[in-house]
Structure 1
Amino acid sequence: MKTPFSRPCTMPAARYSSRRAGLADGSSRGDHDAAASWSSLTGVLRRSVLPIAVTAALAFSAQPAVAAPESGPDSPASTVPNDPPTESDRVIVKFHDPAAAETTKEKVVEEAAENALSEAKAPEVSEKVKTTAAQADVLELDRELDETEQKKLVAEIQADPAVEYAEADRLASTSWVPNDTYTAYQWTLWPQQGGVNFTQAWDLSRGNGQTIAVLDTGITSHGDLNSKVVPGRDFINDTALSRDGDLRDANPQDQGDWSAAGECSPAARNSSWHGTHVAGLAAGVTNNGNGIVGAAPGAKIQPVRVLGKCTNGWVSDIADAVAWSAGAPVAGQPANRTPATVINLSLNYPGECGTTMQNAINAAVNRRVPVVAAAGNSAVNAGGTAPANCANTIVVGASDNNGNTASYSNTGAVVDVLAPGGTSQYPMLSTVNAGTRGPAGATYGNMYGTSMATPLVSGTVALMKQRDPAITPARVEQILKSTASGRLGSLTLNPAAAVRAVAPTGQAQASYTVSGGIGTTWRATGGAAKWGNPVMNEANASNGGRYQEFVKNGRKVTIYWSSATGANVVENSTVIGKKFIAAGRERGYGFPSSGEARVNGGSYQMYRKGSSVTKTLWSARSGAHAVKETGGIGGAWKRAGLERGWGWPTTDEYTSNGEVRQQFSNGVTAHWTAKRGVWTTR
């Protein structure tokens, strides 16, 4: 059969079943399960992992998934308190004059309550509880207010000119930890074990009201998934792959991606149940006293089947599925009545991002649906792998249990964040199926790869979108990266910080200041009238630089500053701006050393990174391409008269037959080698 292009970004490992029986090493879990520990579990996992090729989408170990312990790992439920109450009968009010009479302060609060809640529902001040270290008064009311009432009262109190600020006083509790049986074995949830901080993120958001579309092999029936699933679709339009004997339909059930010997690989392969595993990591049923925990406990799952036999799928089908998942119309397909708010692509294929896939991603992003894509498992630069190299995607690499980039993970400037993806010794537990070919019983199993890292980021995005459903994908990406730690290509996801950085809808937006070199350039080049107002405070960029973002009518610009270049504007929505972003922003070309300049026939912008100078040029005929002016070819291009000599660059530099080459619009191809230097052909 013909070979489709897309494969999942997964490294399968051992199954871990949900009922009692023997494991891969022949031992029984029943005798010692109550004393199970992380180290003992990983010992079992190490013994049962198959040696596999990095890019292969192979099946689990050949033995059937048999019983797991009935009791499972010790549950933390008995030591975890319930969520703290949302009601409160206290407010904190800081008056401009802390020494004002108590009766005057009480009158301000009580009049605000009458205005905000009506006289019949207005609470009165019972007593002053204390004064805080900041000289704010903590006042107790005669009844509890729900969250809506608290917001109304606080807003009304703050409107009084005598008040500096006001807020509700709330009860806090320890970070929420679900009581699912295998929570303690999900090392990805615990920073001290190499995971990331989901528990504190869940104190702020659970992803309620969000839907994660999992474009994958489909889904199988599972107690840790079924109640979370909304209607999806099968988009496989090739009976050689579909296994269900038909084309696109409303049934996204995984039919199994198994293959006989010689069909897809020399050896026979069992079904992977890849989509079921990814769905569990993204939003599996949580806090039900059973199984595993999903990254977004409150989110729904929309299964969209795009990978079939041999775990392959056509890019044209996947692109249609991306658009449909976001609610965009797709010819011949019914409308998606429950559109996703996040799209997960734990798959990849080699080469450039084509127009078909890019248009589909753009359709999703234009509907404010972020598209989260796996970087791939080939230990190469992800810039050569799609859809990771598509614009407007959030690209996820994998980290190991020590928080370092996993050895198999693709890397490079297009990788936005790392999330735990696991290793052969420390894989990731999630929902799977016991069938070796077609679906059988529900169970749990382990895999590792960027496929597993991606749903953790998709889940984080769902948490963020509960806080602000209207947040743009670009803003989501910016927050994920600005709250992460590390350097480009290895910025480690911080779910709690990312969620915390999103102001909840209805909450007063922060007031941002503009100062220093960035402020000077902002004002000098047009200020709010041209660029809009700041949407964040000035923050650290790479290599000691700074940046700040501004938005006007949905159009975003970023002003960067460094000691070498001063402050300059990058227009994110222009072709040159998009080229800069795709190259890795300041970590790629360096900091902008000029604004975007319009010249006869096109435009350009300059960048500096240490002693290296890059110029990106755009014209309608040539598109946008970069010339390394301090390189051999770029230097010769300058000496030849820039675009007036060789013309506009029609490619970036590339390597062919051991030479570095670049093509220009006046028919010139420049060549460079270390021995010969630069020469041209026409």
Structure 2
Amino acid sequence: MNTPLSQRCPLHTSHRPTSGGSTSRTRRATASRTGEGSARATHDDAAATAGARVAAAASSPSALTRVLRHTVLPLAVTAALAFSAQPAQAAPESGPEAPASTVPNDPPKESNRVIVKFHDTAAAEASKEKVVEQAARDALKAKAPEVTDRVKTTATQADVIELDRELDETEQKKVVAEIEADPAVEYAEADRLASSSWMPNDTYTKFQWTLLPSSSGVDFPGAWDLSRGNGQTIAVLDTGITSHGDLNPKVLPGRDFINDTALSRDGNLRDANPQDQGDWSAAGECSTAARTSSWHGTHVAGLAAGVTNNGVGITGAAPGAKILPVRVLGKCTNGWVSDIADAVTWSSGAAVAGQPANANPASVINMSLNYPGECGATMQNAINTAVSRNVPVVVAAGNSAVNAGGTAPANCGNTIVVGASDTTGHTASYSNTGAVVDVLAPGGTAQNPMLSTMNAGTSTPGAATYGNLYGTSMATPLVSGTIAMMKQRNPSLSPARIEQIITSTASGPLGSLNLNPAAAVRAVAPSGQGAYSTSGGIGAKWRATGGAATWGNPVMNEAAAANGGRYQEFVKNGRKVTIYWSSATGANIVENATVIGKKFISAGRERGYGYPATGEARVRGGSYQVYRNGAATTKVLWSSASGTHAVKESGAIGGAWKKAGLERGWGWPTTDEYTVNGEVQQRFSNGVTAHWTHQRGLWTTR
């Protein structure tokens, strides 16, 4: 007889399910009496409490207001959404798989500034600059930069000094060490640029407290600045999936592995349709009372990698990852271990007898499920097969508030086991614990559950909606999403190394157990050693301009950019360049670390100036780069005397500047275009100020 599967995710105020008034022991006894041979699984029901109250009050605005005032806010909001949003559930467009091009993936590591606090803060500026220049010569010899300016004095009377080139991290350390060796100096450090944490624009992100560190969750925004899980696939082994606008663009062809018509509900055995048929049951089938469908797999999939930054719905933990739905739990949320083990094997890309090959092997396998007893050879062999193919297997610890060592697959070897934390970061009262638990992730509570994609059907699938569940089932996809982001940075990471990073970077009130996505992703050095490939126009440009010897290796696969373009990033010695391609400009390189590259980034990258039409060109006295956005052409120029400014060559002022001889005529731009009393102006280094208005057109003054 197959080992029965029991997967539990509490909903109600007590951490044991109250649906039908039965405990898990009662449910298993019922299974034995009925001879079904598959275990019962309890589930979270997003609107069972607040949703029902809102539904009952919906016909009366005043009654509805009273209900919402006395309902926990996340439940009230999402339950209301479940009722009001269903009629308009048009599928939203997919958000970008690639990191938003308006935000750098990493804060730049290079800097052309140092902060120096002198003991004598009133010392002459020239003497201070001499100390810095001498230290740079001692540290870097022939490569020493020169001081170009004292930018400002800080509130503590330290001087911010600008150099004529950027220093990488190694150079910064050498120069700072030499500066601090001077007896005139109190302290010195590199002045670094910081980047804002990317936040998606999805409507309900603000209710996803588990993603936001300021709301007792964990730091996913910090991880998103480094990676989004692009190019990775999360296999969700669960009840299947329902059609949902916040999931469909992410879903790859999955499979139904239920090989038992008593559980499958679709009347057949294994097939290519992983749709959740509903795990509802009539009274007496799974428990004393009837149960509605949980749509558990749909909820888990949304938490792992729901469509993100599309202006509607929820945010997934790994915004760039794809979802591989694999149905292993059916009627009564039951599934056979033998079927689940085959699903693990197939998801990893290994062969399963009688099944077609998986064209989209998983980067990580998520199992928000468990069953009592020891891990048998069937499941352990399947997990070992996945791990041997470099696919980590992430499993829920279970929700019985017992030692997870007595629950499978949490007690299987080669797994990453996830317990649930509450809003304080402590172990949730329902979560299994023990030595086999590797990490805690937010799992929610009855008072503060977790919002994700859901379905409005009570038995068979209905309209797409959003709803709340909680449990270790909800914590697990947050860890799977984190792993997808880690594997984007280095796809060759082994499961053992991933587990070590996840556990070693953990933090929180328990000291070293709470998931820290930002720290885990940051701890993964981008591989850059053949992990990503180059092709097409971007690959041709990379090779033609020196390839890895000049620009380093790719640190991501080619990805979509704005308006039909493409981009790919490369790193050498910590310095990043991005090669952009568009049909109008072809492929060209942006050097992210230069002052011109930073100007391009701060203007919105290709969504601002457009695509680079040239590389960065060094000319006598400075450098420049040209960008095109449709019919608009912008040239960004830099010189040591004028700084970095943009000229809109397709505009009236920029066009006149070109006719006057570019920088050889009016000179280098000393400002961008700006407006004064309705008049557009721009100044140039040879004393020319250009003016333009609609009424008068263009004129210049000196």
TM-score interval (norm. to shorter): 0.5 to 0.7
Partner of 2:10 in structure 1?
11
1:98-247 correspondence runs (5 A): 99=134, 108=143, 128=148, 138-140=163-165, 172-247=194-269
Partner of 2:303 in structure 1?
281
Candidates 260, 269, 287, aligned match of 2:291: 269
SS in 2 for 1:344: strand
Separation (CA, whole Å) in 2 of partners of 1:162 and 1:45: 55
Q: For 1:279, give the aligned amino acid.
A: A
Candidates 406, 415, 425, aligned match of 2:437: 415
> Gaps spanning 5+ residues in structure 2: where?
12-43, 90-94, 115-130, 153-157, 179-189, 531-702
Report the alpha carbon displacement of residue 361 of structure 1 after superposing the two structures with TM. 0.6
Report the alpha carbon displacement of residue 250 of structure 1 after superposing the two structures with TM. 1.1
Separation (CA, whole Å) in 1 of partners of 2:134 and 2:63: 65
CA contact (8 A) 1:91 1:140 kept: no
Q: Cα 1:259–1:270, aligned 2, differ >3 Å: closer, same or farther?
A: same
CA contact (8 A) 1:352 1:385 kept: yes
Report the alpha carbon displacement of residue 46 of structure 1 after superposing the two structures with TM. 7.8
Q: 2:389 matched to 1:367?
A: yes
Q: For 1:391, give the aligned amino acid.
A: G
Q: For 1:99, give the aligned amino acid.
A: Q
Q: 2:72 matched to 1:42?
A: yes
Q: Cα 1:64–1:162, aligned 2, differ >3 Å: closer, same or farther?
A: closer
Partner of 2:482 in structure 1?
460
SS in 1 for 2:297: helix
Q: How far does the alpha carbon of each residue in 1:42-96 deviate from its partner, in whole angstroms, 9 at most, with x for none?
A: 2473899xxxxxxxxxxxx9x9952249999xxxx9xxx9843469999547999
Report the alpha carbon displacement of residue 423 of structure 1 after superposing the two structures with TM. 1.2
Separation (CA, whole Å) in 2 of partners of 1:252 and 1:379: 31
1:373-452 correspondence runs (5 A): 373-452=395-474
CA contact (8 A) 1:83 1:173 kept: no
Q: Cα 1:423–1:488, aligned 2, differ >3 Å: closer, same or farther?
A: closer
Q: For 1:425, give the aligned amino acid.
A: Q
Partner of 2:493 in structure 1?
471
Report the alpha carbon displacement of residue 304 of structure 1 after superposing the two structures with TM. 0.4
Partner of 1:67 in structure 2?
84
1:274-353 correspondence runs (5 A): 274-353=296-375
Separation (CA, whole Å) in 1 of partners of 2:378 and 2:414: 14
Separation (CA, whole Å) in 2 of partners of 1:64 and 1:256: 21
SS in 2 for 1:66: helix
1:240-255 correspondence runs (5 A): 240-255=262-277
Separation (CA, whole Å) in 2 of partners of 1:4 and 1:70: 42
Separation (CA, whole Å) in 2 of partners of 1:90 and 1:374: 37
1:451-530 correspondence runs (5 A): 451-485=473-507, 491-506=513-528
TM-score (norm 2): 0.57
Q: Cα 1:135–1:396, aligned 2, differ >3 Å: closer, same or farther?
A: same
Q: Cα 1:100–1:203, aligned 2, differ >3 Å: closer, same or farther?
A: same
SS in 2 for 1:347: coil
CA contact (8 A) 1:16 1:443 kept: no
Report the alpha carbon displacement of residue 30 of structure 1 after superposing the two structures with TM. 8.4
SS in 2 for 1:282: helix
Q: Cα 1:40–1:231, aligned 2, differ >3 Å: closer, same or farther?
A: farther
Separation (CA, whole Å) in 1 of partners of 2:445 and 2:107: 46
Partner of 1:118 in structure 2?
none
Q: Cα 1:485–1:172, aligned 2, differ >3 Å: closer, same or farther?
A: closer
Aligned length: 454
SS in 2 for 1:23: helix
Q: For 1:365, give the aligned amino acid.
A: V
Partner of 2:127 in structure 1?
none
Q: How far does the alpha carbon of each residue in 1:345-366 deviate from its partner, in whole angstroms, 9 at most, with x for none?
A: 0000000001111111111111
Bigger relative contact order (CA 8 A; separation at least 6) = 2
Instruction: Determine what percentage of the aligned residue pairs are the same residue.
Output: 66
Q: How far does the alpha carbon of each residue in 1:162-220 deviate from its partner, in whole angstroms, 9 at most, with x for none?
A: 9999xx99854321111111111111122333211111111111111111000000001
Separation (CA, whole Å) in 1 of partners of 2:442 and 2:396: 12
CA contact (8 A) 2:74 2:448 kept: no
Q: Cα 1:185–1:90, aligned 2, differ >3 Å: closer, same or farther?
A: closer
Between stretches 270-279 and 125-134, larger displacement belongs to 125-134
Separation (CA, whole Å) in 1 of partners of 2:193 and 2:493: 28
SS in 1 for 2:496: helix
Separation (CA, whole Å) in 2 of partners of 1:134 and 1:499: 34
Please identify which structure carries the higher helix content.
Answer: 2
TM-score (norm 1): 0.58
Report the alpha carbon displacement of residue 396 of structure 1 after superposing the two structures with TM. 0.5
Q: Cα 1:419–1:3, aligned 2, differ >3 Å: closer, same or farther?
A: same
Partner of 2:547 in structure 1?
none
SS in 1 for 2:419: strand
Separation (CA, whole Å) in 2 of partners of 1:223 and 1:491: 35
Q: Cα 1:27–1:404, aligned 2, differ >3 Å: closer, same or farther?
A: farther
* Structure with bigger gyration radius: 2
SS in 1 for 2:72: helix
> Gaps spanning 5+ residues in structure 1: where?
49-60, 110-124, 142-152, 509-682
Q: Cα 1:482–1:334, aligned 2, differ >3 Å: closer, same or farther?
A: same
Q: Cα 1:94–1:182, aligned 2, differ >3 Å: closer, same or farther?
A: closer
Separation (CA, whole Å) in 2 of partners of 1:478 and 1:382: 20
Partner of 1:574 in structure 2?
none
Report the alpha carbon displacement of residue 483 of structure 1 after superposing the two structures with TM. 1.2
CA contact (8 A) 2:81 2:465 kept: no
Report the alpha carbon displacement of residue 9 of structure 1 after superposing the two structures with TM. 3.4
Q: 2:42 matched to 1:23?
A: no
Separation (CA, whole Å) in 2 of partners of 1:506 and 1:212: 23
Q: CA RMSD in A?
A: 4.5
Q: How far does the alpha carbon of each residue in 1:583-614 deviate from its partner, in whole angstroms, 9 at most, with x for none?
A: xxxxxxxxxxxxxxxxxxxxxxxxxxxxxxxx
Q: Cα 1:126–1:27, aligned 2, differ >3 Å: closer, same or farther?
A: farther
Separation (CA, whole Å) in 2 of partners of 1:416 and 1:39: 39
Q: Cα 1:86–1:243, aligned 2, differ >3 Å: closer, same or farther?
A: closer
Q: Cα 1:209–1:64, aligned 2, differ >3 Å: closer, same or farther?
A: closer
Separation (CA, whole Å) in 2 of partners of 1:489 and 1:382: 20
Separation (CA, whole Å) in 1 of partners of 2:286 and 2:363: 34
Q: For 1:317, give the aligned amino acid.
A: D
Separation (CA, whole Å) in 1 of partners of 2:62 and 2:516: 38
